[in-house]
Structure formats: C-alpha cells, structure tokens
Amino acid sequence: MDIGDTVLIANDVPPSVFKKIRSVYLYLSVESAEVAERVHNLLAEGGEIYMPMEETFYATRFSMLRDRFGVSWTVINELPRP
C-alpha cells in the first residue's frame, strides 16, 4: 500500500499461528482533514470505531478504530506546531 512517499508492506502467516493485533495501533498521519475523513471512513467499513473522527486541541481530525481485519488504527491530521 502506498501512503504518500511511504510504502507499507504486510505479510501473511499460516492460520495456525495467526493472532489478531489487539494492543498496537498503526498511527497514520495524513496531510489534510479531508484525507483523514476519507481514510477513516474506508477503514471503518465493517470495523469498530473507538473514538469517532473529530477535531481536538492537537488535530483538525483524530480517530481510533479497528478495521474489518482486526488491525487497530489511529488516524490524524495534526495541527501545525507553533
């Protein structure tokens, strides 16, 4: 998966050793509120939202969710730092 200039590569494992990720969130920082909304909505399809997409004191958009494959995500468009 290409994310801007970053390539994210995933590997599969045999079902006998597969364990769902439960304690780790992939942190995805995006360049705009619009992209954050789009990515959040795509990841939320068939998943579970823990913190809905919203504005915070540190971000124009922030959310936490688990996708339909059991991967946990933090999606953020951070506010510029002073």
Count of CB atoms situated within 10 Å of the CB of 38: 13
The one-letter code for the residue type at 79 is L
The one-letter code for the residue type at 23 is S
The answer to whether the pTM exceeds 0.85 is: no
C-alpha dihedral sign at 6, 35, 80, 29: negative
What pLDDT digit, counting tens, does each position of 64-77 carry?
A: 999 998 889 999 99
Domain limits, the chain = 20-78
What pLDDT digit, counting tens, does each position of 15-31 carry?
A: 887 777 667 788 999 99
- CATH 3.90.79.10 for domain 20-78: no
